[in-house]
């Protein structure tokens, strides 16, 4: 059962500004229309930045290739979160690493946004880690280690594309509300790529 508007208002009013901003810029697309209207109203009542409401609206609009490209370029020109270089445009990769201990195998995938050199290094580290420590679990180590090696090798081929790769575009699409709300705030944009969740 969905909460009533009165219950929603009480919840929104109880949230601190940071939590309310996070909901507005990251989760508005999943809210029902009357909850979105109420969220906007509470943001206005608190005197929070109008850019937060723009972040809500950005999540609710249809995103075509031109709009997606515009948001992607907001991030691609930032300094690399790992080496701080601005020599090359940022992109994204998925690393996969496996560590096994006889009857236990841990297969971890992680999204990274960085410059192509740092992305290559991240994929290489994940491959070395998996090659050294992945095989030693039965039966999953023997299965997951080749999967991780193939994933890293495949992703490494996309690190140096001149255009944003599909993984980067998917990341941007999921962050459109935050990107719009922080369009003119380079510090907050850097935070988006440094602390991926």
pLDDT digits (tens, 9 = 90+) for 63-87: 999 999 999 999 999 999 999 999 9
Q: Are 82 and 53 in contact (CB under 8 A)?
A: no
Q: How far apart are CA 106 and CA 142, in angstroms?
A: 12
State which H helix or E strand residue 51 sits in. Answer: helix 50-60
H or E element, residue 99? strand 91-101
Model pLDDT, residue 176: 95
Q: Is 20 exposed, middle or buried (0-12, 13-18, 19+ CB in 10 A)?
A: buried
pLDDT for 25: 94
* Cβ–Cβ < 8 Å for 105, 139: no
Contact partners, residue 2, CB within 8 Å, separation at least 6: 32
pLDDT at residue 197 in the model: 74
CA distance 177 to 27: 8
Q: Flag residues of the chain having pLDDT under 50.
A: none
> For residue 113, what are the β-bridge partners?
92
pTM of the model: 0.88
pLDDT, position 2: 84
The HSE-up count of residue 53 (CA atoms within 13 Å, CB side) is: 14
* Nearest-10 Cα torsion for 69, 72, 78, 84: -130
Sign of CA dihedral 171, 176, 182, 186: positive
Give long-range contacts, CB 8 A cutoff, 24+ apart: 1-10. 2/32, 5/34, 5/35, 5/38, 8/35, 8/38, 9/38, 9/42
pLDDT at 184: 93
């Amino acid at each position: 059962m969905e909460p009533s508007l009165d219950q929603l208002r009480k919840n929104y009013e109880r949230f601190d500004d940071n939590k309310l901003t996070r909901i507005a810029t990251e989760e508005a697309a999943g809210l029902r229309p009357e909850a979105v209207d109420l969220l906007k109203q509470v943001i206005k009542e608190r005197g929070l930045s109008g850019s937060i409401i723009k972040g809500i609206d950005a999540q609710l609009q249809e995103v075509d290739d031109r709009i997606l490209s515009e948001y992607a370029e907001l991030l691609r020109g930032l300094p690399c979160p790992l080496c701080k270089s601005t020599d090359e445009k940022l992109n994204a990769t998925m690393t996969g690493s496996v560590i096994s201990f006889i009857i236990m195998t841990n297969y971890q995938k992680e999204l990274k946004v960085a410059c192509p050199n740092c992305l290559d290094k991240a994929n290489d580290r994940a491959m070395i880690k998996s090659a050294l420590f992945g095989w030693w679990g039965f039966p999953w180590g023997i299965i997951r280690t080749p999967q991780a090696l193939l994933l890293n090798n495949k992703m490494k081929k996309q690190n140096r594309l001149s255009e944003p790769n599909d993984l980067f575009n998917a990341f941007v699409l999921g962050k459109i509300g935050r990107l719009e709300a922080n369009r003119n705030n380079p510090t907050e944009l850097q935070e988006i790529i440094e602390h991926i969740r």
